[in-house]
Structure 1
């Protein structure tokens, strides 16, 4: 479990996050949603240590991550997997090399062990036999799946995903959501997903926090979100006809 307590983040005069507290549960898909500029990605970066909170604390299974120095954070960071919005694959490396990259940095595994792990991860994301391809040879959906394979290569306890469906067609986006959900359940990871995709919210949103103007305005499940009377949340969630139809079915 990850717990954040009273997180503030300011950049100069701009207060981006204003006292956000939440629990992100193990074995669940924890979604952070909100409109552009609401602070979603900034909050994610504060949780993983890419930004330091101006005020507040982040706990990984009751260990105070915020109070640790760089060296102290290393054991926790080794348990973190991340899928960035643009997949962030190395163009000069093959699929296999991209997946093995964190294993080279953080483990003392043998070459054969690393290859076995890469093959396992590729099989897990349904990309068996794609080892020697380069990112330029992959579709957008395949790049996302390679990004997920790399993110799980270290067998992470915590998985962070930033806008996984950005730039994908609806069918591929659903496949990515299903893959994230399967991995979360299979490995019991604490998965935190930043998204504005309402299909993802309704499909895999076990635990959702809604940010509005840098504050947490609502928290609940995908079933509860369909019946909320929160005006700002309703305006955000039910903007599309699809979501109106989904609400009527729940």
Structure 2
């Protein structure tokens, strides 16, 4: 389990996060949602250590990640898989080499075992045999799936996903959501997804945290979100559904 305790983050005079307390549980799709500027990506970056909180603590299974130095954080970072919004694949590397990149960084595994692991991960995301392709030869959905394959190459205990459906058509978005949910359940990862996609919220939102103006405004499941009387959340949900429907008609 990952726990955030009273997380604050400021940039100059800008208070982006104000006292976020949350528990992100294993075997669940923990979704962080909110409008632009609500602080959801900043919270994700504070949790993984890309930003240092101005105040507060992040705990990984009771270990105080915030108070650790770079070397002390390495064992936890080895257990983290990340899928970035842009997929962040290396254009000069093949699909196979992109997937084994974390294995090169963090393990002394022989190359033959790394390739076996890459093959397993590609099969898991339904891209078997695509090892020697380059990112420029892949569709947007395929790039996301390669990103997921790389994220799970280290068999992570914690999986972080930033806007996985950005730039994807609705059908491909559903496939990516289903893949994330399957991996979460199969490996019992603590999965944290930052998204504004209401299809993702309603489809895989086991545990949802809604941020508004840098504060935790609401918390619950996708079954509860439809019955909330929280006006800010209702406004976000309605606006998101309206804009999504409008885009699909274009």
Please indicate the TM-score interval, normalised by the length of the shorter structure: over 0.9
- Map of 1:79 onto structure 2: 79
Mapped pair 1:228 → 2:228: yes
Deviations 1:212-240 (A, max 9, x none): 00000000000000000000000001223
Distance 2:168 2:202 in 1: 17
Distance 1:94 1:70 in 2: 30
Mapped pair 1:177 → 2:163: no
Gaps of 5+ in 2: 246-250
Instruction: Quickly say closer, same or farther: Cα 1:131–1:243, change in 2 above 3 A.
Output: closer
Distance 1:105 1:28 in 2: 28
Distance 1:202 1:238 in 2: 13
Gaps of 5+ in 1: 245-250
Deviations 1:53-98 (A, max 9, x none): 0000000000000000000000000000000000000000000000
Deviations 1:18-45 (A, max 9, x none): 0000000000000000000000100000
- Map of 2:19 onto structure 1: 19
State the TM-score, normalizing by the size of structure 2: 0.96
State the TM-score, normalizing by the size of structure 1: 0.96
SS in 1 for 2:16: strand
How far residue 100 of structure 1 moved from its aligned partner, in angstroms, is 0.6
- Map of 1:39 onto structure 2: 39
Equivalent residues in 2 for 1:1-250, closer than 5 Å: 1-239=1-239, 240=241
User: RMSD of the TM alignment (CA)?
Assistant: 1.2
Distance 2:196 2:120 in 1: 31
